[in-house]
């Protein structure tokens, strides 16, 4: 009678569910903390925030599922992890190829455009991405779907025309199951041979390996970059901390900031007039003229990006000057000292990671 499969360990399942709830709360806090002040409202950009949270959960689910998969394999539970991994990775494929690019393109469209135009622009860019992805992914699937798995084969060398005894067979399998190399005296009976097995991969399995490869590559790149950026950010926060100023120095910094704000206002009015002129010229152009307008559109987008960056930098200078004006009430010097210490510790961690 076959042994009945058991359900997964209740303790591990409970821990996984609790960690999932904690991760959801942590994701909400992370998103609220790093959101731009214009999007801090609960209902503002709700669709984009939902997509970001869902993306976090899909990525974190791939990590939490590893422990469940290990226990499922060791204890022979009745949880079908193969279907679970297919659902997770196909969801990840759909998110990476369709949902996230569309939301990104829609978010980057001009807010002055009507909703229909923004939707069509994002959909057009998404279709281009899908065509390029399908060309690359399905071409590689057709050419590289064969997995070559290295194996060590044990070949029996008995006397021609005779059958091996049960004792010889048991000895062969015992030696093959051991982690040690086979003894030299048994080479007359069998020998090991390094070879490969060609295995045709299914589309889900190939997609999983495809994304796992590029995911690990990006993890190495961004983790290395992040380990360098973290200490740099801590030390920069300490070096750019608010400091007490004399009245003359404060007035000079205040006048300089007011001049920057005035220049930004002029640049904003100029950019607004150029966009109005561009919208008028675009409505009167034909198809071939529209190709020329695309170059102007890229130029306007570049100018708008530079304007937004300058606005953010000016806003940070204003906040720093405001904290300087109320140094005793708004500045905690020990906080920036901790940033400096954390920066040095991060440098040590980064060096140890790259060694």
CB of 200 within 8 A of CB of 81?
Answer: no
Give this prediction's pTM.
0.57
Residues 117 and 297: their CA atoms lie apart, in Å, by 15
Whether residue 159 has pLDDT greater than 70: no
State how far the Cα of 346 lies from the Cα of 354, in Å rounded to an integer: 12
| Residue 131: pLDDT band with limits 50, 70, 90 | very high
For the segment 282-332, what is each residue's pLDDT rounded down to a tens digit? 767 665 556 667 777 778 878 888 888 888 888 888 888 888 888 777 778
Residue 291 confidence (pLDDT):
64
| pLDDT: which is higher, 167 or 264 | 264
Per-domain residue ranges of the chain = 10-34+42-143, 147-200, 204-354
312, 317, 323, 325 alpha-carbon torsion, rounded to 10°: -140
Beta strands in the chain (DSSP E): 146-156, 190-200
| Residue 1's pLDDT band (cuts 50, 70, 90) | very low
């Amino acid at each position: 009678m076959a042994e009945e499969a058991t359900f997964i360990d209740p303790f591990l399942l409970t821990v996984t569910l609790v960690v999932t709830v904690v991760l959801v709360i942590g994701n909400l806090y992370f998103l609220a903390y790093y959101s731009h002040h214009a999007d801090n409202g609960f209902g503002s950009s709700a669709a984009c925030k939902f997509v970001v949270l869902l993306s976090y959960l899909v990525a974190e689910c791939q990590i939490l599922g590893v422990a469940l998969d290990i226990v499922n394999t060791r204890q022979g539970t009745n949880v079908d992890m193969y279907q679970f991994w297919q659902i997770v990775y196909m969801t990840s494929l759909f998110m990476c190829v369709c949902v996230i690019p569309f939301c990104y393109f829609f978010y980057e469209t001009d807010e002055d455009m009507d909703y229909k135009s923004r939707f069509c622009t994002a959909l057009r860019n998404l279709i281009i991405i899908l065509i390029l992805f399908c060309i690359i992914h399905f071409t590689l699937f057709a050419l590289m779907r064969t997995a070559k798995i290295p194996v060590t084969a044990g070949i029996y060398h008995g006397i021609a025309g005779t059958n091996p005894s049960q004792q010889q067979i048991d000895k062969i399998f015992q030696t093959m199951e051991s982690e040690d190399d086979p003894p030299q005296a048994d080479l007359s009976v069998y020998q090991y041979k390094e070879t490969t097995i060609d295995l045709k991969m299914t589309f889900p399995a190939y997609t999983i390996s495809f994304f796992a490869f590029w995911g690990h590559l990006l993890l190495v790149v961004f983790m290395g970059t992040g380990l360098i950026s973290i200490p740099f950010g801590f030390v920069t926060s300490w070096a750019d901390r608010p400091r007490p100023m004399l009245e003359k120095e404060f007035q000079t910094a205040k006048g300089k900031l007011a001049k920057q704000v005035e220049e930004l206002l002029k640049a904003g009015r100029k950019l607004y007039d150029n966009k109005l002129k561009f919208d008028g010229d675009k409505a009167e152009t034909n198809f071939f003229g529209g190709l020329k307008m695309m170059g102007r559109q890229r130029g306007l987008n570049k100018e708008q990006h530079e304007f937004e960056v300058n606005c953010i930098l000016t806003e940070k200078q204003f906040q720093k000057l405001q904290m300087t004006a109320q140094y005793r009430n708004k500045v905690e010097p020990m906080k920036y000292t901790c940033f400096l210490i954390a920066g040095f510790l991060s440098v040590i961690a980064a060096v140890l990671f790259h060694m």
